[in-house]
């Protein structure tokens, strides 16, 4: 199975990149599933049902979110009835929505997607290790599901790596998100799980992690409250990670970063098609 996971989509320019490239990526990379982190898609803060519908229409199969999941209040009543939009698994009991979703491919394969929030520098959260352990007890890679993608939405690289080693051999891919900067450590761990510390954002990199740099500089240089930061509006770089899994075990066979457009150097797997 081939799964492409697109990192944090920031604002209009990030959405445009996904809408433009999604059909081409699906065809050229022979994708079985396309999953996108959309937690900054609505003006840099959260996701709306309308934006989710737009992404689905472009060929996205499932959308993950993160700590900004409920910044757009209109998503709160809608998320419970939309299984293709996930919120983090380790949010408090009673939180609307779900932290696990499934993509059924055109070939009848089952991709399970889970997302957790880290705890370091991210506020009070339930234990992501315990939350993932409980959910994975219900599924078996290469048995009940054909592939498993886990998004670790966290600040600390150490926490992401610890979770990846904890999951090694039990999931197909552990992809870090949230810090909006792509890392160069895409690899397959000893147990067969693919890992990258951060996929990177899909947004304008002539910015401060996707937000207008002038507004960000004013905030860093003053102790006074300022107006809300706005997303940068230049051409976006689409940042993603591609994983190919073994059809029998569900473990990773190959993993590679994908980067298109904008200011970052392009990256493309040498094993397309």
Query: How far apart (Å, rounded) are the C-alpha atoms in residues 244 and 18?
Result: 21
Catalytic entry in 68, 153, 178, 180:
68
Query: Does the CA dihedral 258-60-19-85 come out positive or negative?
Result: negative
Degrees to nearest 5, angle at CA 128 with 126 and 134: 100
3-state secondary structure of 116: strand
Query: How far apart (Å, rounded) are the C-alpha atoms in residues 21 and 261?
Result: 10
Q: Quick check: is 178 catalytic?
A: no
Helix axes 157-167, 128-136, angle to 10 degrees: 20
What residues contact residue 217 under an 8 Å CB cut-off, 6+ apart? 208
Which strands sit side by side in the sheet containing 2-6, from one edge to the other?
62-64, 33-37, 2-6, 238-245, 252-260
Query: How far apart (Å, rounded) are the C-alpha atoms in residues 210 and 178?
Result: 11
Query: How far apart (Å, rounded) are the C-alpha atoms in residues 179 and 201?
Result: 8
- Closest by CA position to 44, among listed 87, 13, 1: 13
Query: How far apart (Å, rounded) are the C-alpha atoms in residues 229 and 19?
Result: 24
Looking at the annotation, which residues are catalytic? 68
């Amino acid at each position: 199975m081939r799964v492409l996971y697109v990192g944090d989509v920031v604002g209009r320019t990030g959405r445009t990149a996904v809408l433009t490239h999604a059909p081409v990526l699906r065809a050229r990379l022979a994708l079985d599933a396309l999953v996108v982190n959309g937690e900054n898609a609505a003006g840099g803060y959260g996701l709306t049902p309308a934006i989710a519908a737009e992404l689905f229409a472009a060929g996205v199969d499932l959308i993950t979110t993160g700590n900004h999941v409920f910044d757009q209040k209109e998503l709160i009543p809608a998320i419970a009835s939309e299984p293709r939009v996930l919120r983090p698994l380790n949010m408090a009991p009673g939180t609307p929505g779900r932290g696990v979703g499934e993509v059924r491919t055109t070939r009848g394969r089952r991709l399970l997607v889970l997302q957790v929030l880290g705890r370091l520098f991210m506020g009070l959260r339930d234990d992501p290790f315990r939350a993932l352990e409980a959910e994975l007890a219900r599924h078996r890679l290469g048995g009940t599901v054909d592939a498993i993608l886990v998004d670790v939405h966290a600040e600390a690289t150490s926490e992401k790596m610890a979770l990846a080693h904890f999951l090694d051999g039990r999931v197909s891919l552990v992809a870090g998100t949230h810090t909006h900067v792509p890392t160069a450590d895409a690899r397959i761990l000893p147990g067969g799980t693919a890992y990258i510390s951060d996929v990177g954002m899909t947004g304008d990199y002539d910015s401060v992690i996707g937000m207008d740099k002038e507004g960000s500089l004013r905030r860093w240089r003053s102790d006074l409250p300022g107006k809300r930061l706005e997303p940068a509006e230049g051409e976006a770089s689409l940042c993603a990670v591609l994983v190919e899994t073994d059809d029998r075990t569900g473990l990773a066979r190959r993993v590679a970063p994908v980067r298109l457009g904008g200011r970052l150097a392009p990256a493309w797997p040498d094993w397309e098609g």
